[in-house]
Amino acid sequence: MSETPRLLRVLSGETLDRPPVWFMRQAGRSLPEYRELRSRAKDFIAFCFDPEMAAEATLQPMRRFPMDAAIVFADILLIPLALGQDVWFEAGEGPRLGALPAIGDLQDAIDGSTAKLANIGETLERVRAELEPERALIGFAGAPWTVATYMLEGRGSQREAARRYAYEHPEELDGLLDVLVEATARYLVMQARSGAQALKLFESWADNLAEDVFERIVIRPHARIVEKVRAAGVDTPFIGFPRSAGALVDNYAGAVPVQAVALDTQASAALGRRIQADGKAIQGALDNLLLLAGGPALDSRVDQLLEQWGSGPYIFNLGHGVMPDTPVQHIARVVERVTGKKAKAVAA
């Protein structure tokens, strides 16, 4: 009988002898074998839509490190692309998006959007077929507000224009968020039906929002996505990630029916324990810059996180994704400290 993945046991509320571990951006540029593979793709979008390459990228960290979970190699900006907005990635710069399509065109594009992302479903199927049964497979999407900020700004930004838009055009923003709630829910249902055993919602830009605005453009869309996924008959557990939400993480944890709240680097020990006491699991929150820096401070911080949150349902992760120039030895060292298992050398 295959062992239930540690990640899923924690998401069902169990406290384990040691937390499962995985890292955001564990695949990708920090691995030399990814850089070699990536060099063979036409561009990043083509890479994401190539199930063979994306499955290989997803599995690369799983061969090197004793991670307890894999996350599908995709990106949060595939939804705007599937809705008809131009999306491309400037080498060394990051994403760029074309003009925001008219809301009517976005609404009309919802029905066809999930089929346009079918290749991500094939990536999930390929990974599931190869991954050991005791290791979980995570699907994900960007949350509506975070994705909307890219659609409105046309790139990664300080999001001031997007936050002004929320005040100056509340109805238009609500219309855009409605489109994203529907398209994202359908995308996550497809991922679950393709093998994803947990679903993560990345609200990567949940900072600097007033409490009433946070309720309207973060909490409510997340709750609606979970409700829509459940209404489709999918009971796959959710991890919600309101990054940089600060004190409003408590609002989020109390209102959104996710099974785990992912915490960012600034989360206090007390915040995590409060959420665990309220019956949710937590995930996080090692500083990705400390993982990059290494040294004795890295080991002591890992021990501190295990100590402060290990007596409740806890998934060990970072506060944000692995930085591209993070030494693989640092990743191996942390994962060994959490699991007691050594990494494997891999020929690039």
Residues making contact with ligand UP2 (CB under 6 A): 24-29, 38, 44, 58, 71, 73, 75-77, 89, 94-95, 140, 156, 202, 204, 320-321, 324
Identity of the amino acid at 344: K
CA distance 221 to 184: 10
For helices 296-309 and 328-339, the axis angle rounded to 10 degrees is: 30
* Shortest distance (Å) from residue 9 CB to ligand UP2: 21
The annotation status of 2 as a binding-site residue, yes or no, is no
Reply yes or no on whether 264 is catalytic. no
The annotation status of 25 as a binding-site residue, yes or no, is yes
CA distance 220 to 178: 10
Q: Do 312 and 276 meet the contact criterion of CB atoms below 8 Å apart? A: yes
Q: Which of 9, 18, 38, 273 is catalytic?
A: 38
* Shortest distance (Å) from residue 31 CB to ligand UP2: 8
Reply yes or no on whether 135 is catalytic. no
* Shortest distance (Å) from residue 156 CB to ligand UP2: 2
CA distance 237 to 37: 32
The annotation status of 75 as a binding-site residue, yes or no, is yes
Give the side-chain half-sphere CA count within 13 A for 72.
Answer: 36
* Shortest distance (Å) from residue 24 CB to ligand UP2: 4
Residue 214 or residue 312: which is nearer to ligand UP2 going by CB?
214
Q: Which of 75, 135, 163, 216 is catalytic?
A: 75
Reply yes or no on whether 299 is catalytic. no
Token pair listed for 232: 């489709």
Reply yes or no on whether 63 is catalytic. no
Q: Which of 18, 29, 128, 193 is catalytic?
A: 29
Q: How many C-beta neighbours within 10 Å does residue 49 have?
A: 20
CA distance 287 to 12: 26
* Shortest distance (Å) from residue 203 CB to ligand UP2: 9
The annotation status of 63 as a binding-site residue, yes or no, is no
* Shortest distance (Å) from residue 94 CB to ligand UP2: 4
Q: Quick one: 346 exposed, middle or buried, by C-beta within 10 A (0-12, 13-18, 19+)?
A: middle
Residue 28 or residue 310: which is nearer to ligand UP2 going by CB?
28
Cis peptide before 166 (omega within 30 of 0): no
CA distance 276 to 221: 23
Residue pointed to by tokens 């540690």? 6
Reply yes or no on whether 64 is catalytic. no
The annotation status of 272 as a binding-site residue, yes or no, is no
Q: Which of 25, 126, 159, 216 is catalytic?
A: 25
The annotation status of 29 as a binding-site residue, yes or no, is yes
CA distance 136 to 44: 25
The annotation status of 27 as a binding-site residue, yes or no, is yes
Q: Which of 6, 135, 150, 216 is catalytic?
A: 150
Residue pointed to by tokens 């046991």? 9
Residue 84 or residue 89: which is nearer to ligand UP2 going by CB?
89
Please give the torsion angle defined by the CA atoms of residues 259, 265, 271 and 274, in that order, rounded to the nearest 10 degrees. 30
CA distance 292 to 265: 14
Catalytic residues: 25, 29, 38, 75, 150
Annotated binding site, which residues? Answer: 25-29, 75, 150, 204, 320
Annotated binding site for substrate, which residues? Answer: 25-29, 75, 150, 204, 320
